[in-house]
Amino acid sequence: MRNYDFSPFSRSAIGFDRLFELLNAQSQDSAENFPPYDIVRTGEDTFRISLAVAGFSPSDITVTAQQNLLTVAGRKAAPSSSEQYVYQGISARAFERRFNLADYIEVEAAGFENGLLQINLARKVPEAMKPRRIDIVPTQPQHERRLEAGKAA
């Protein structure tokens, strides 16, 4: 079983700490490790999940995104009656892989090439939630304000 240490990512990715904790727990607790997958950070706020789904076609796979949950399921159609396997080493068993996503993580696209399903994710924080710079304006001490108010009166 592979154990991934996401702590280097979580140190530099504020807001993704929950994502890395859930992924770490998922990889350790899951007895079912099919299909194997990689999670790659492709930018400051973008990620890519790659799943090795050899033997499946895009029509056999469904990708469903809900709030904070990404589900990838695959079910291969039954082989035709004219096909008889002498040996079947490429897995064709049905699978369902769930990924818990952090807040504001959205699925941008999914692609299939050379037996790899690649799902692109992006963190899209609403403008109201983004940090903004507040200018600091020097203020006058209270005793100077009183003097100015007294002169005006």
pLDDT in tens, 4-48: 665 565 555 555 556 666 666 655 444 467 899 999 999 988 999
DSSP at 43: S
Residue 97 backbone dihedrals phi, psi, to 5 degrees: -120, 130
Instruction: Report whether 46 contacts 13 (CB < 8 A).
Output: no
Q: Where are the domains of the chain?
A: 7-123
Please tell me the distance from the alpha carbon of residue 126 to that of residue 23, in angstroms, as a whole number.
Answer: 24
pTM over 0.85: no
**CATH assignment of 7-123, given 3.40.50.1000, 2.60.40.790, 1.20.1560.10, 2.60.40.1180?**
2.60.40.790
Measured distance CA(92)–CA(5) in Å, rounded: 30
Asked if residue 125 has pLDDT above 90, the reply is no
What's residue 17's pLDDT?
A: 59
More confident residue, 11 or 118: 118
Q: How far apart are CA 119 and CA 80, in angstroms?
A: 30
Q: What is the pLDDT of residue 67?
A: 86
* pLDDT score for 26: 56
pLDDT score recorded for residue 5:
63
Quick: pLDDT tens for 49-107.
999 998 899 999 999 999 889 999 999 877 777 778 788 888 788 999 999 898 889 99
**Edge-to-edge order in the sheet of strand 37-41:** 37-41, 46-52, 116-123, 105-113
| pLDDT of residue 124 exceeding 80 | yes
pLDDT reported for residue 30: 47
Q: Are residues 122 and 45 in contact, defined by beta-carbon separation less than 8 angstroms?
A: yes
